[in-house]
Structures are given as C-alpha cells and as structure tokens.
Structure 1
C-alpha cells in the first residue's frame, strides 16, 4: 500500500509525520505501508517569516527528518492527478516525467498570492508570497542604495492592509534604514479597498495597530485600490499618483492550481470542500489539507484559515486519517477549537489575540516575544530523531494554542 502526500509545507510536513506515527503505533512496516512525500525540494519554507530581511535563510531542511521516520522523499513537482487510475504524474528537476500510483492521496499543495490583471503588476510588483518572491524583493531593496536619493527610491507602497500587508509594511522602515543609512527617512504607504486597515481584527486590536502605524510613520490610503503600476509610481483608484520604485502586492490568496484537477466542489478561494475527516467527498482515496482545503474547525461555524496555525494541525489529522483507512483503524475527525492571532508590528512590537472574536491579550514587547517564539521555534520541524519526530505529530496535540 502507498500513501502519497503532495507538498512539503506545514500541512504536508505534518501529514507525513502523523501518518508515520500511526504506522509505527500499529506496528506496520514501511514495506507494508509506504509513505511518500512529493515536493520540488526536501525543504520547509518558513513562509510566515518571508516579510523579514534575509529571506534566503528562512528555510528548514526536511530530508533527515523524513529519513528518520521512514518517509520516502520523491523529488519533483506534481503536474497531474488522475483520480480514476489513482496516479500522480511528477516532473523531475531534469524535466523528465514519472508516474506514482497511490492507494491514498493527501493534497497539501498550499496557496498562492492572487494577482489580478492590473496593468503593470506582473512587471513592476513585488511580493513576499513565495521564497523566490521574497528574495527578489530583498535584492531590489538592496539595489536602492546604489540609486540617487529621490521620493520614488525612498517610498514603498504596500497593496493590502491584511496580516501580510501589515507585517511587510511595519518591517519596512527598519529594513530600509539598514540599507539606505540610519538617517534615511523612508516613506511607507498601505493601500486597501476596505474602510480600515486590518478589517478583520476587531475593535480591540485595530486601535493598537493604527497607533503602531502612526508611531512608525506609516501612511494609509483606505477605501482605495491600485489601478496601475509603472516603474516610477502607482496610480490609485482615487486618482492619486504615488511616486515609488517599490510596490509590494499583498492582497488576497488562492489555493494552488493543482486543486482544480480534483473533480470536486471548491470554494471561492479554490479550496477543496472536505468532510470532518478531511476527505474530499465523492473522490475515493483523496484527502485535502492546509490551504488546499476548506475545513470546519468546530460546530460553531468556524472554518480553518489560510495560516500555518491551521495547516499544522490539519496536516496531522489528514495524514493520520489517510493512514488509518489503509491500516483499517478508526479515523479522527479534525477539530481546532482554540485560535490565536499574533501580528508582528515591526519596531512597534506586536499584538497577540485569543479566540475567533480576537480578544486582545498581549501588546508591545511582550507580544513581540511570543511572536518571535512562534516564528523561530514552534512552527519549525521537529529534530531528526525518530521517537521525538513521531511524538510531535499526535494530531490531538499539534498546534492547539
């Protein structure tokens, strides 16, 4: 029997760990149940940190962890999924293709930044979505130091006032001063079509966020969108033109395109609708998890968000349940009642909230310490030691903040 997992992000990593854990508990051997993880590289990109400097360092190796738990790493990118023949076509680094059959499949392909057809966006826009995007932005920012001082050089426009946009924007003043000199006076502008930045954060947190933006000198343009970009500036829907050489697009996510190959229902974000065991209804042998799935967290109408907090735990349940079906043992319905938000605010600290209503619990330096603990410890892979790695993947205890 073979369980195939597509994706080495947070959900894919924990799907592999959890499936291997259950295999070990049930006393099955790797020959009796092969677990294979397909990804371009055996590496976890620590995506929630890509707004930080030196993004090329924000990865964690997985090869030794996978080896320690007898998970087969298959190098390549999944190109097609045939759910009738239960096979995945993989394109290798060299461009060759091979097929990998499966008895159960876990789709953990993550999400991608939504880039609308705005004139100039593809040519002149940057992002912190994928590792290559963040590296390109970092190189661009460092190239600014060789250019003459000007309003355009010293101005950054961030399109999107949600979590990613705020973290990218609040980190930017310090990043630019480190590059342009401590006496530099960078200008950062957040543009969002909503009536306020952080529209989902609620009345507790929004004043703290707005105060942090003011403290950092970050301007906002709410009720406005980006109409077009060029190398020297951006035009807003209000008619305002902002002179800038750096526009960071951070407005919206969609499930990765591979989900469209699964003949099943999807939501407006492209996520596959799944049942409480994270199966894709009507498609035999297929599970979806992380940003690829729309999953109910509880019985109160809350659904998992596109976040590593949900992806970690969802991955553990998906891997466990896919393996459980093959091993003939009961599955575990996914549930994630606890929910927390920790938002970095650059030199202004951070905020930490609890619950879906996002009640404010920590602010400033205290919240910043929690954010740093999350970003540098909690979301990283376990050490490559079999017992510890398997113990980390109990779905009932993963990421239940």
Structure 2
C-alpha cells in the first residue's frame, strides 16, 4: 500500500500543506506517495472576510487545484484521532462513519470562536466565525428591515474590541444603512474589557481606530463586560441593559477540539506545541500547523497568531516537512520574524502597521487599498496550474 500523508482541514494551513507536500514529492519523483486532504467541503473559505457582506461568495473551489497537483480530497468531518493506530475517524458526506489510516498526519483543523458560559450566549448571539454563522447574521440583518423601527432594532452590540470586533463594528454602519435606509440612524456599540478603545491592538494604531469609529458613529464601552444576553439585548457588568435585536460575539478563539486527542503540551488556546519543523513535540508521526500549532516565529519569544498571515507560511513549511520526514530528507526550519497588521476600518479606510509593537505605516484610504489587495488577491490560493501551484508552495519563498 502506498505511503499516505493525511491532512485534516482545508483552511489556509491545510491547503498550503497539501500543495507543499505535493511539491516536494514531485521534486523527488515519488508518485507512489498519496497526499489526502480530509475536510467538510472542497473549498477554501476566506474566513478573514466574514465580517463583510455577501459572505456566501467568499470561498475558492479546490477541486481543480488539487487535481492539478495530484492531491486527493476526502469529504467528511474528522472527529477522532487514533495516535497509536495511526488512523482518523470521520463522518463522510453521506452521514456514514469511516476510518482512514496514515503514515504521517498534518493537523490543520483550525480554530473556532470561544464561547464561555455567558447566560444566553448560545441562544441569542451571532458571530462571524464560520461561513454558516456569518450568513445567518447576514440574513438576520436583512430581516431587520421588516421590523418596526425601534431602538432595539437599530442597535447592534459587538461583544469584544479585538481585531474581529473592530472590523465587524466599523463595517456595520454602512451595512445597516443599506438595509434600513439612511433615515434609520443605526447605532453600533462595542463592549470591551480593555481599558480604552482598541487597547488589545496597542497604542500605535489606536488613533486610527478612534478616528474611524468617530466617523462611523461607532460607540465604545471600554472596561466593560457582557454578563448576559437575552432576546431583547444584553446586560452589562455594571447592571446596565442595552436593548438590541443583534448581539455579535467576537471575544476570543480557541484551537480545534481535535488537538485534545493528540498527547502533547498545549497553550492556553489549546494549540499543540510544535518544534521548529512544526512536528508536535513528543509525536513521531504528527505535525500541527496553522491555528492548532503553538509555534515560535522568531528567537525573541513571539509565537504565531491565529491569522492567515501565519497560517499560509506555516502550511508551506508543514507540508514540506511532513513529506521530507516520510522521504528521509532534511526539513526546513519555520521562522517568520516579520509581523504586520492590516485592520479594516469601514468607510474611513484601514490601518497598516509593522512589527509586534504595531508601528503605523499606512492609514485611511491608502491603507484601504492595501487591505483590498490582501483580502481579494493575496490570501486566495493559486490557479489550478500544476507548475504555478507547486512553485507557489515553496517554503523558502520570502515572507513579506
């Protein structure tokens, strides 16, 4: 039976793992090794854009791309990992239980929004974490137009003032005006535990966040937490109640629960600790990449974040290294010392920063042009051309 590399997940890290593994096998002329991707659908969902409208179109089909590079796609939901038996259990697209073996495994199962035990959160809050939940929010926003005008109808509460919360909140006023009309006077409120506006993103880009929120009319309740959510709104930790038909939860993420089935050290987000080659420490045959990997990006103590900025290069490295491991050739070290952010800020524009201290480099419409380029071109997979796709998967491509 052919040696088998199995990759769980078709997000950014999973897709680039598959392409990079295929690249090294192609260079070694090893057509006897099978590379498979196990995921719910043969498409890369562009998750960083789920705060926008028209979410249903934010995906890239993978069938032709995988066929071009010789990667097998298996449609299903993975739910069990047998580390000792080197196999993965999953439910296929017909609802049938299946099991598949592997010689090497790449866990690229991604992350999900953290849902703490806040009363009413599960029943009444929306999120932009997955395509289905973002589409549910979009349908809800459209349906608001059929309700009588009221403060609750016109008010959206965004819980969390981190990256996702800010991008969601600053996009909402224009989305709401398009749905409710220019006379509706929509109100968007960010509730955040941080001591000040944009505290989670540092002082460098805070002025841009403040300016964008002032222009859009986005309000902040800093140093505040949501204690409960019901059908009519939210209760805050100071006892205040905000009437709202739309509460969006963006507070934190955690690694896929599949990580719990792999013995190893984890961080507070549930990510598996990996070595410099992205192999899970203590495991001989399992690699972790993207949002499930607790990986050092430099020698200064910084670690990869749960973003496509890190997931794409990590995928290039993990795919190369899992194939290298199987072939018995030298792996490459994952390091990504350059860190940038590009924060969308609605009609005001965007803020682009460099370094872990987030030094502001571009803002306003100049920053927005870069953000559009990132969101619409840079993070999408390559065309279904074998030579082009394999070349793009080189882990030694400079990271800029």
TM-score, structure 1 as length reference: 0.98
SS in 2 for 1:73: strand
State the Cα deviation string for residues 292-329 of structure 1 (Å, max 9, x = none): 01000011111000101000010110010000011111
- In the alignment, the residues of structure 1 paired with residue 167 and residue 144 of structure 2 have an alpha-carbon distance, to the nearest angstrom, of 21
Give the alignment of 1:160-179 within 5 angstroms: 160-179=160-179
1:2 is the counterpart of 2:4: yes
Give the alignment of 1:121-136 within 5 angstroms: 121-136=121-136
Moved more, 245-254 or 209-218: 209-218
SS in 2 for 1:79: strand
State the Cα deviation string for residues 161-181 of structure 1 (Å, max 9, x = none): 000000000000000001011
Q: Who is 1:80 aligned against?
A: 80
Q: Who is 1:208 aligned against?
A: 208
Which stretches in structure 2 are left out of the alignment for 5+ residues?
Answer: none
- In the alignment, the residues of structure 1 paired with residue 141 and residue 253 of structure 2 have an alpha-carbon distance, to the nearest angstrom, of 24
- In the alignment, the residues of structure 1 paired with residue 267 and residue 312 of structure 2 have an alpha-carbon distance, to the nearest angstrom, of 21
Tell me, yes or no, if the aligned pair for 2:204 and 2:357 is still in contact at 8 Å.
no
Runs of 4+ aligned structure 1 residues displaced above 4 Å come to none
Give the alignment of 1:2-401 within 5 angstroms: 2-29=4-31, 32-397=32-397, 400-401=399-400
Tell me how far 1:199 sits from its aligned partner: 2.0
SS in 2 for 1:152: helix
- In the alignment, the residues of structure 2 paired with residue 198 and residue 287 of structure 1 have an alpha-carbon distance, to the nearest angstrom, of 35
Tell me how far 1:94 sits from its aligned partner: 1.5
Moved more, 104-113 or 211-220: 211-220
The RMSD of aligned alpha carbons is 0.8
Tell me, yes or no, if the aligned pair for 2:161 and 2:200 is still in contact at 8 Å.
no
Tell me how far 1:374 sits from its aligned partner: 0.3
Tell me how far 1:211 sits from its aligned partner: 1.5
Tell me, yes or no, if the aligned pair for 2:194 and 2:200 is still in contact at 8 Å.
no
Tell me, yes or no, if the aligned pair for 1:162 and 1:197 is still in contact at 8 Å.
no
- In the alignment, the residues of structure 1 paired with residue 257 and residue 173 of structure 2 have an alpha-carbon distance, to the nearest angstrom, of 34
Tell me how far 1:117 sits from its aligned partner: 1.0
State the Cα deviation string for residues 104-156 of structure 1 (Å, max 9, x = none): 10000000000111111111100000001100000000000000000000000
State the Cα deviation string for residues 65-106 of structure 1 (Å, max 9, x = none): 001000000110111101101011121021211211111100
- In the alignment, the residues of structure 2 paired with residue 65 and residue 309 of structure 1 have an alpha-carbon distance, to the nearest angstrom, of 21
Moved more, 89-98 or 77-86: 89-98
Tell me how far 1:390 sits from its aligned partner: 0.5
Tell me, yes or no, if the aligned pair for 1:158 and 1:188 is still in contact at 8 Å.
yes
SS in 1 for 2:152: coil
Tell me how far 1:265 sits from its aligned partner: 1.2
Tell me, yes or no, if the aligned pair for 1:352 and 1:367 is still in contact at 8 Å.
yes
- In the alignment, the residues of structure 2 paired with residue 196 and residue 258 of structure 1 have an alpha-carbon distance, to the nearest angstrom, of 35
- In the alignment, the residues of structure 2 paired with residue 187 and residue 237 of structure 1 have an alpha-carbon distance, to the nearest angstrom, of 21
- In the alignment, the residues of structure 2 paired with residue 267 and residue 394 of structure 1 have an alpha-carbon distance, to the nearest angstrom, of 29
Tell me how far 1:54 sits from its aligned partner: 1.0
Tell me how far 1:202 sits from its aligned partner: 2.2
State the Cα deviation string for residues 184-209 of structure 1 (Å, max 9, x = none): 21000000111023223222211111
- In the alignment, the residues of structure 2 paired with residue 39 and residue 271 of structure 1 have an alpha-carbon distance, to the nearest angstrom, of 19
- In the alignment, the residues of structure 2 paired with residue 361 and residue 323 of structure 1 have an alpha-carbon distance, to the nearest angstrom, of 38
Moved more, 121-130 or 179-188: 179-188
SS in 1 for 2:153: coil
